[in-house]
Chains A and B, each alone.
Chain A
Amino acid sequence: MSASEAIATDTPRAGSSGTGPVADRTARSGPSARNGTGGKPAKRKLTGREKRNLRVGLLFISPWIIGVAVFVIYPLIYSFVISLTQYSGMQSPTFIGFKNYIAAFADPMVHTSVGNTVYYMLLAVPIGLIIALLLALAMNRNVREVAIYRTLLYLPSLIPMFAMSFIFIVFVNPQFGIVNQFLGLFGMPDTNLLGEPRYAKIVMIVMAQLGAGNAALIYLAGLRNIPETLYEAARIDGASRMRQFFSITVPLLTPTILFNLITGVSGAMMVFTEAFIMTNGGPDNSTLFYMLYLYRNAFSYGQLGFASALAVLLFLFGMLLAGLIYWLSRRFVNYDVSAG
């Protein structure tokens, strides 16, 4: 009965927002019906329908609320708290202030792992952005076989990193692989690439490029959003294809480039699986990436406090980088024209 009352009182107001009155089980009980008959909203108070919608809405998103509390907010706080302690996971943590952070800054292995990760990031991300863009241009060609291009260029992106790592172990192996044969053509002596500190990271950077298909598809969507009329106008003005590419395609693709940059950087920050499987950080710690060192501290050395400090530092570095990229994007990213 109270439900029909709610409908009667709510109907006049329903038109404004477009949502009709609801008569579900939750609306039938509780204060909403009472407030629904209460008439005008006083000051900034919610109307009855808004209150009921709020309650139903919150009920629907309650799994997410629980999830965000348990899997995001709690871990964030816990990470920070535990990073201020000495904690092995076995005994209860003892508070040691910022000693873990001081130790992290002094630890030569942290320096090595940061250096390796930054090296990886500075090479893999820009190369990846360019290769993905080239793939996207190939995927966007007007030739009959373009479907084959798209499928074959995307397919390697589908392979999980752990399987790709196994494949590359064989692929670059001097005995069973073909990469050495190929490099031999250019006069490079037979080397176990994964056993050489100079080359192990390079192998991983090259391997990462096989996954460029994902970013390429995102570029492809961006390319298709560029209005054709711009190219037509440029052609009439006699602009060369190079000129069109750098004056139209690249500037209008900057939002997409930004997106791929962010995903690329965050992926590079957390590079782990390939180093874990292919080299386990070796040779000579040349593939000891930050995440691998964090993982070892947490799960091999039982240094959960120290590992948490590393995690918090990674988090802060990520935020800093996000801020920097955002600042750069305001200067260089062009949101003006889109085909809508």
Chain B
Amino acid sequence: MAINTLETGTQNLGQSPTTIKSRSNYGRNPDGSRQGPVGKWVSRLVMLVVLILFSLPLYWMLISALKSPEELAQFPPTLFPNELRWQNFVDAVTVMPFWTFFRNTAIITISVVVFSVVSNFIVAFGFACIEWPGRNKVFFVVLATLFLPFPVTLIPMFDMWAGLGFVNTWVPLIAPALFAGGFFTFLLRQFMLQTPKDMMDAARVDGASEWAIAWRIVFPTARPAVTVIAIFAAVGTWNDFMGPLIYLQDESKQTLSIGMQVFRSVNSQDIQFNLLMAASFLVLLPLVILFFMFQRYFISGITLGGFK
């Protein structure tokens, strides 16, 4: 049941939330009632307060990143830096091996994205485009794994990778992406179920292998869904904290998420908060760029998960 109802959601994939035109006119509320000019401005004022509350931590990070140590020490803190100290960004990347962390994170992220896309696409093709007896029953196992809390696998996985001698390497972080599963397979399958059967059948009659059908016919049409899982894999890996924390010990192999933790404990006596904020900003800059580049995929991907 859950599998089928989700198909309605996938049709909106790739549609931007900002371009979704409402069914009613401007000046009407979503429930259709009209709002007077006064009420409109009152609600705008309320929205402004909410927006400020939601943006304030980010704003604070940004201005703290640009303050000089002297200004940071001022009390009460200034709401806008007297002088913008861009030098902080240079210092932030030199006070710790920022670019090593950055490069490591980028390599792990890109590997996971590529492997996730390939493996999940192949598996989703097996679930969506080949009709084999029992596939829906097996697919329920995929759904069931979505509900498995990761802590229960944490220790066995660590023990396994330790036994294989892969602790303190990137293997435990990257290798699982080779074996598709969970949400990504689910999402891709839902999308691929909509691929027109005629084209695949025509190719089969022409003697094309399933492998060729998968990559030449289905993959191009599944691009929006593939983009969504690529973005999710990228964000998830970039933001991963627990994995690198457990598996990576050498500083030369660490990622940004735990690298910054090291930066903090080294300077535990006097944390240079302005540099910490500058580094934080640099960490989320790629995410923000990715978001604005692929905004519509972000949103369609997230909303897709919400269909019962």
A-to-B contact residues, CB < 8 Å: 3, 7, 17-26, 46, 50, 53-54, 56-61, 63-64, 66-68, 70-72, 74-76, 78-79, 82, 89, 135, 137-144, 146-156, 158-164, 166-171, 173, 175-178, 181, 210, 214, 217-224, 228, 231-232, 235, 241, 244-245, 248-249, 255-256, 258-260, 266, 269-270, 272-273, 276-277, 291, 294-295, 298-299, 304, 307-308, 311-312, 314-315, 318, 322, 335, 340
By beta carbon, the residue of chain A nearest B79 is: A178
Residues from chain B with a CB closer than 8 A to the CB of A273 are 241-242
A163/B283 in contact, CB under 8 A:
yes
Interface residues in B, total, Cβ within 8 A: 117
The total of interchain contacts (Cβ-Cβ below 8 angstroms) comes to: 332
By beta carbon, the residue of chain A nearest B257 is: A162
Residues from chain A with a CB closer than 8 A to the CB of B22 are 142
Asked whether A150 and B18 contact (CB < 8 A) given A63-B180, A266-B149, A291-B151, the answer is yes
Residues from chain B with a CB closer than 8 A to the CB of A256 are 306, 308
Among B127, B152, B205, B238: residue with most chain A CB under 10 A: B152
CB within 8 A of B158: which of A159, A169, A298? A298
Is B81's beta carbon under 8 Å from chain A? no
B204/A20 in contact, CB under 8 A:
yes
B307/A221 in contact, CB under 8 A:
yes
Residues from chain A with a CB closer than 8 A to the CB of B210 are 22, 24, 26, 56, 60
5 example contacts (A-B, Cβ-Cβ < 8 A) are as follows: A46-B133, A141-B29, A162-B241, A167-B280, A318-B147
B123/A138 in contact, CB under 8 A:
no
Q: Give the complex CA separation of A137 and B284 in angstroms.
A: 27
Least distance between A53 CB and chain B CB atoms (Å) = 4
CB within 8 A of A142: which of B24, B145, B147, B284? B24
B306/A260 in contact, CB under 8 A:
yes
CB within 8 A of A143: which of B44, B61, B277? B44
Residues from chain A with a CB closer than 8 A to the CB of B54 are 152-153, 155-156, 210
B72/A72 in contact, CB under 8 A:
no
**Stretch with Cβ within 8 A of A (4 or more), from B83-91, B134-142, B222-230:** B134-142
A78/B130 in contact, CB under 8 A:
no
CB within 8 A of A160: which of B18, B130, B150, B238? B238
Residues from chain A with a CB closer than 8 A to the CB of B214 are 60
Is B38's beta carbon under 8 Å from chain A? no
B284/A159 in contact, CB under 8 A:
yes
Residues from chain A with a CB closer than 8 A to the CB of B30 are 137, 140-142, 223
B201/A20 in contact, CB under 8 A:
yes
A149/B306 in contact, CB under 8 A:
no
A63/B125 in contact, CB under 8 A:
no
Q: Give the complex CA separation of A161 and B55 in angstroms.
A: 16
Q: Give the complex CA separation of A173 and B47 in angstroms.
A: 27
CB within 8 A of A89: which of B43, B159, B242? B159
Interface of B, secondary structure class, is helix
CB within 8 A of A72: which of B153, B185, B307? B153
By beta carbon, the residue of chain A nearest B65 is: A170
A177/B60 in contact, CB under 8 A:
yes
List which B16-35 residues lie within 8 A (CB) of chain A: 17-18, 20, 22-33
Asked whether A164 and B156 contact (CB < 8 A) given A64-B180, A159-B284, A270-B150, the answer is no
CB within 8 A of A304: which of B159, B246, B264, B306? B159
A314/B153 in contact, CB under 8 A:
no
Q: Give the complex CA separation of A220 and B30 in angstroms.
A: 11
Is B293's beta carbon under 8 Å from chain A? no
B155/A298 in contact, CB under 8 A:
yes
Is B248's beta carbon under 8 Å from chain A? no
By beta carbon, the residue of chain A nearest B235 is: A158
Is B57's beta carbon under 8 Å from chain A? yes
B204/A21 in contact, CB under 8 A:
yes
By beta carbon, the residue of chain A nearest B153 is: A75
Is B266's beta carbon under 8 Å from chain A? no
Residues from chain A with a CB closer than 8 A to the CB of B126 are 56-61, 64
B123/A66 in contact, CB under 8 A:
no
Residues from chain B with a CB closer than 8 A to the CB of A169 are 273, 276
Q: Give the complex CA separation of A219 and B306 in angstroms.
A: 8
CB within 8 A of B33: which of A23, A25, A223, A241? A241
Q: Give the complex CA separation of A141 and B22 in angstroms.
A: 9
Residues from chain A with a CB closer than 8 A to the CB of B55 are 152, 155-156
A61/B138 in contact, CB under 8 A:
yes
Residues from chain A with a CB closer than 8 A to the CB of B130 are 19, 53, 56-57, 60
Residues from chain A with a CB closer than 8 A to the CB of B27 are 142
Q: Give the complex CA separation of A184 and B244 in angstroms.
A: 39
Contact flags (1/0) for B190-202 with A, using CB distance below 8 Å? 0000000100111
Residues from chain A with a CB closer than 8 A to the CB of B60 are 167, 170-171, 177-178
A18/B197 in contact, CB under 8 A:
yes
By beta carbon, the residue of chain A nearest B149 is: A318
